[in-house]
């Protein structure tokens, strides 16, 4: 049986597990991260890990939940919803999300390795994963549906529109494959302009 722990000790171990999980998950992924590696810095036994989290996947999800609300504030509330019009909002969203992927290793890992989040969803309750409060993808989809209803965004399938926007976010991962990588910033600028203009026909 795991030893009894004080409130302060439980807090310290929880934060240590989260810090270790963040470092390992973002550098080597959830599959290659062992339970031994997760518990080593905190000095607890593997069996004690389950006092804090049901599984590695539960730890991974907790890291996501802790970041989701703040990410939404930056890419949705502070970018998508602050545009001067729908096109500008989409442009701001893409820019803010690209910045997020450049500075947030956990979200960048999810973008480049989506199978890891799928593995988490299979292990845990899928409704908890996909129905997370403050989910940026859900907020983006709601925005698309709302602006399709007013004719400000083209298309009939919101998932396709969201998929097109997500495709732009994959470009940085392949920047070195461009014929002229030195022109990557200009290429990305033009791509964002083309995509957002194509999705938002001007009225009148």
| Residue pair 116/129 in contact by the 8 Å Cβ criterion | no
pLDDT value, residue 1: 52
pLDDT value, residue 175: 85
Of 113, 7, 134, 5, the C-alpha closest to 60 is 113
Where b means 16+ CB within 10 Å and e means fewer, 87-116 reads bebbbbbbebbbebbeebebbbbbbeeeeb
DSSP symbol at 165: H
pLDDT value, residue 124: 65
Q: What is the rounded CA–CA span in Å between residue 148 and residue 126?
A: 28
- Rounded to two decimals, the pTM is 0.79
pLDDT of the chain, 204 residues: tens digit per residue: 556 788 899 999 999 999 999 999 999 999 899 999 999 999 999 999 999 999 998 898 888 888 888 889 999 999 999 999 999 999 999 999 999 998 999 888 877 777 777 777 777 666 665 555 567 888 999 999 999 999 999 987 999 999 999 999 988 888 888 889 899 999 999 999 999 999 999 765
pLDDT value, residue 133: 54
pLDDT value, residue 3: 62
pLDDT value, residue 84: 95
Output the CA angle 12-17-22, nearest 5 degrees: 130
pLDDT value, residue 132: 57
Q: Domains in the chain, start-ordered, CATH in brackets?
A: 1-53 (1.10.10.60), 68-199 (1.10.357)
- The answer to whether the Cα torsion of 126, 130, 133, 134 is positive or negative is positive
Number of H helices, E strands in the chain: 11, 0
């Amino acid at each position: 049986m795991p030893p009894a722990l004080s409130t302060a000790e439980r807090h310290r171990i929880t934060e240590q597990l989260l810090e270790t999980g963040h470092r390992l998950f973002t550098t080597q992924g959830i599959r290659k991260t062992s339970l031994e590696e997760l518990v080593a810095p905190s000095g607890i036994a593997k069996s004690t890990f389950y006092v804090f989290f049901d599984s590695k996947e539960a730890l991974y999800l907790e890291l996501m939940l802790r970041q989701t609300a703040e990410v939404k504030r930056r890419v949705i509330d502070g970018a998508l919803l602050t545009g001067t019009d729908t096109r500008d909002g989409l442009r701001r969203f893409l820019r803010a999300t690209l910045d997020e992927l450049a500075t947030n290793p956990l979200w960048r890992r999810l973008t480049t390795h989506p199978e890891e989040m799928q593995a988490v969803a299979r292990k845990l309750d899928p409704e908890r994963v996909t129905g997370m409060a403050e989910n940026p993808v859900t907020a983006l989809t709601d925005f698309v549906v709302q602006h399709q209803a007013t004719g400000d965004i083209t298309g009939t399938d919101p998932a396709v529109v969201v998929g097109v926007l997500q495709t732009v976010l994959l470009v940085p991962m392949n920047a070195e494959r461009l014929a002229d990588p030195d022109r990557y910033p200009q290429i990305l600028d033009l791509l964002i302009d083309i995509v957002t203009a194509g999705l938002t026909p001007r009225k009148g």
